[in-house]
Amino acid sequence: PVQAVKYALRSLAARISSLDAEIKELERSLATLVHSIVPTLLSRVGIGTIHAAQLLITAGENIERLHSEAAFARLCGVAPVPVSSGKSHRMRLHRGGDRKANRALHMIAVVRLRYDARTIDYMQRRLAEGFSKKDVLRCLKRFIAREVYNDLRHDLIAA
């Protein structure tokens, strides 16, 4: 039994190693493709190859079908929807749209909150105004969607 376990672990380690090498090769080729299509988008803080590829997939080949950045935000699930009742005036994000694109925008916002000074200042200012962290993140995701749409439009129309 001990030898069988050792053999199984060795074969699993070899399989993991080969899969890691395959992933690295695929990411390298994806990086080449994405960089040739959307170089402006990749120059933004917090946007890496995988997130840019996901947002490119969400936008599709024909960016002109999206008539505005608001349509792209709705497609990504970051369009604000009013949920006010009584004297409270709040917004929430549209729950529809592409969940993977929403996740990409969320991760970009999280990275910017950690490394981008302008985003950190924005967060502090909005928290001082009485917004919750969740509301600030909603605003950031909407801003990033606007920025991504404009970059995608610039890169895809120029190509």
Please choose, from the candidates 94, 106, 103, 96, the residue with its C-alpha nearest in 3D space to the C-alpha of residue 133. 106
Q: Which residues pair with 93 in a beta bridge?
A: 80
Give me the tens of pLDDT residue by residue for the chain, a chain 159 residues long: 899 999 999 999 999 999 999 999 999 999 999 999 999 999 999 999 999 999 999 998 888 888 899 999 999 988 888 777 777 777 777 777 889 999 999 999 999 999 999 999 999 999 999 988 998 999 999 999 999 999 999 998 876
Are residues 66 and 59 in contact, defined by beta-carbon separation less than 8 angstroms?
A: yes
Torsion 117-110-139-70 (CA) sign? positive
Q: Which two tokens stand for residue 64?
A: 């002109």
pLDDT at 79: 85
Rounded CA separation 99/156 (Å): 23
